[in-house]
Amino acid sequence: MAKILVVEDEPNMQIGLKDNLEFEQFKVEVAKDGQQGLDMILANAYDLIVLDVMMPKMSGFDVCKAARKNGITTPIIFLTAKGEEIDKVLGLELGADDYITKPFSIRELVARVKAILRRTESSNTAQSSEKEIESIRIGALEVDFAHYTAHHQKDGEVKMSHKEYEVLLYLLKHKGEVVSRYQLLEDVWGYESQPTTRTVDNFILKLRQKIEENPNAPKHIITVHGAGYKVIY
């Protein structure tokens, strides 16, 4: 049974989300504000986090940023009343896995939750079955996908978001192939309505900063102009 944390300050929404997710056989815990949510995230293990953006004490963006900074890779779905693209892009760049704009149907949220949990389970299964890429060294970085840890040969432990691991693993599984931005958006993010491809470019930039000796002249994650990216290691 998957364990989900709902971080939501509005009482009726809080109760509704908890009741409906429990009806779907999930185990649900609730936090009433951003600070309590972060405390619970750092103290407990969850399979997925549903995180409101606008909350007292700490915003959802700040909670997500702090969680990722502390090495928490649990998938996060943002709930936001804002529909502007910049807010969605910001959430994704901070390390969220999905977003849903209020008002929304419970059926849609449950579908998003199940989709992310399926992708996470599939990713974990793939990691355990593909021995050759459970642990690899690429450039200056040694990555253990089984335990979600990364170490730089000079700087030591490196913090990476869950989505960074997923993007890198996807590229490694397609070693030598040109992977388009739209492939990454579809297969890693899994959106029917895709965000801007700039999201992918920003994740590639973050990975290059960790992997490449000179991120401005990459040797391992190569841009194929007009087509996408290719990994070489």
Question: Does 110 lie in the same domain as 20?
Answer: yes
Say whether pLDDT at 131 is over 70. Answer: no
Q: What is the pLDDT of residue 128?
A: 47
pLDDT, tens only, 26-48 = 999 999 999 999 999 999 999 99
At 214, the pLDDT band (50, 70, 90 cuts) reads very high
pLDDT at 211: 94
Q: 141 with 195, same domain?
A: yes
Based on the fold, state whether residues 109 and 172 are members of the same structural domain: no
Chosen domain end from 104, 124, 144: 124
Q: Where among 66, 100, 124 does a domain terminate?
A: 124
Domain assignment of residue 145, given as a range:
133-231
Which pTM value belongs to this model? 0.57
Look at residue 94 and give its three-state secondary structure. coil
Judged against a pLDDT cut of 80, whether residue 17 lies above it is answered with yes
**How many domains are there within the chain?**
2
Token representation of residue 2: 């998957």
CA distance 135 to 216: 26
> Helix H segments across the chain?
11-23, 34-43, 60-69, 85-93, 106-129, 162-173, 181-184, 198-211
Report whether 133 contacts 166 (CB < 8 A). no
Do 79 and 154 lie in one domain? The reply is no
CATH number at residue 201: 1.10.10.10
Higher pLDDT, 205 or 101: 205
Q: Are 113 and 4 in contact, with CB atoms under 8 Å apart?
A: yes
> From CA 104, how far away is CA 112, in angstroms rounded?
11
pLDDT confidence band for 193 (50 / 70 / 90) = very low
Local confidence band at 191 (pLDDT 50, 70, 90 cut-offs): low
